[in-house]
């Protein structure tokens, strides 16, 4: 591949010189207000873009690329290099986005993990969790409706701790697995560690901080997502999931909990 000599050009010709092999195209774009501010430049200043075309050519006079594959794009901008521009854009993307976090603790009050929730694009939120010191296997993993993690608070019917966290967080009226706070099961490895990341469009960060807050809860067993085929009959003779399954997916007691706080 031809080597690129990174030299800053002047205002409307903000592309450095590259080898003339007919495979490179230069164009300019106006930097966004946020990127320009981060770089200490005026909004609208020009950024030069060199694009290497592996199988294609630029349409004369338009800057459009004819059918082909864009193999590599490199940016050079007045007063800041390509790496600096990328860093500024990343930092700008992270600023101002609502975010939440939680320290997850077991019944002994020992930290066993952490959670982060960030608002994303198009009405979604990204959930990232890392745990350690937990039993191997799949575990039910849900956002719960109250921001209280008291291991001494036990469910009167099951004896499960962290009853204080309430039921599953839900902005609507559906049952499990359609609660807003229902998340994919968390898989813990044989060494007791687990990491997972998922994206949901069921809730954003702000509703988590309603009057009574919210919490993240890890259950003792796997979540069956209320997937109970009709061939399985309940004790009452009826088919399908019963009331308990429709609450938690039969994921068992609560073994760890973390109050979700603003970050």
Query: Does residue 196 have a pLDDT over 60?
Result: yes
Sign of CA dihedral 206, 212, 218, 224: negative
Q: Contact 164/216 with Cβ under 8 angstroms?
A: no
| CATH code at position 126 | 2.60.40.200
Band of the pLDDT at 185, cuts 50, 70, 90?
very high
Pairing mode of beta strands 111-119, 141-144: unpaired
- Selection from 34-38, 84-88, 217-221 with the highest mean pLDDT: 217-221
Q: What Cα–Cα distance (Å) separates residue 32 from each residue in 37, 39, 43, 47, 184?
A: 8, 11, 6, 10, 37
Q: How many residues does the chain have?
A: 263
Residues 11-38 have a mean pLDDT of: 43
Query: Does residue 74 have a pLDDT over 80?
Result: no
Residue 217 sits in the same domain as residue 155? yes
Q: 3: cis peptide before it, omega within 30°?
A: no
Query: pTM for the whole thing?
Result: 0.62
Mean pLDDT over all residues of the chain? 73
Q: Contact 46/30 with Cβ under 8 angstroms?
A: yes
> Tens digits of per-residue pLDDT, 130-183?
999 999 999 999 999 999 999 999 999 999 999 999 999 999 988 888 899 999
Q: Which residues contact 187 (CB under 8 A, 6 or more apart)?
A: 137, 138, 139, 194, 196
Give a yes or no: residue 17 inside a domain. Answer: no
Q: Which domain holds residue 127?
A: 99-262
What is the number of domains present in the chain?
2
Residue 121 sits in the same domain as residue 141? yes
Query: Does residue 93 have a pLDDT over 70?
Result: no
Residues 109-136 have a mean pLDDT of: 96
């Amino acid at each position: 591949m031809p080597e690129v000599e990174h030299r800053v050009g002047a205002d409307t010709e903000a592309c450095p010189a590259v080898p003339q092999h007919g495979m490179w195209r230069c164009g300019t774009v106006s930097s966004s207000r946020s990127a320009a501010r981060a770089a200490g430049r005026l909004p609208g200043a020009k950024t030069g873009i060199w694009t290497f075309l592996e199988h294609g050519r630029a349409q004369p006079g338009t800057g459009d690329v004819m059918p082909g594959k864009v193999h590599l794009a490199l940016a050079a901008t007045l007063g800041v290099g390509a790496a600096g521009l990328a860093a500024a854009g990343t930092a700008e993307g992270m600023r101002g986005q609502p975010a939440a976090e939680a320290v997850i603790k077991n019944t002994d009050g020992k930290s066993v993990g952490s959670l982060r929730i960030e608002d994303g694009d198009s009405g979604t939120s990204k959930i990232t969790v890392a745990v350690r010191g937990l039993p191997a296997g799949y575990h039910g993993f849900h956002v719960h409706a109250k921001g209280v993690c008291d291991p001494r608070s036990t469910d009167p019917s099951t004896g499960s701790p962290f009853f204080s966290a309430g039921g599953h967080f839900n902005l609507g009226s559906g049952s499990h697995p359609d609660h807003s706070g229902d998340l994919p099961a968390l898989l813990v490895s044989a060494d007791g560690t687990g990491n997972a990341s998922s994206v949901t469009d069921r809730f954003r960060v702000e509703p988590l901080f309603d009057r009574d807050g919210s919490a993240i809860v890890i259950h003792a067993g796997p979540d069956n997502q209320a997937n109970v085929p009709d061939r399985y009959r309940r004790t009452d003779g009826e088919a399908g999931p019963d009331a308990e399954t429709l609450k938690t997916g039969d994921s068992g007691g609560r073994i760890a909990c973390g109050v979700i706080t603003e970050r």
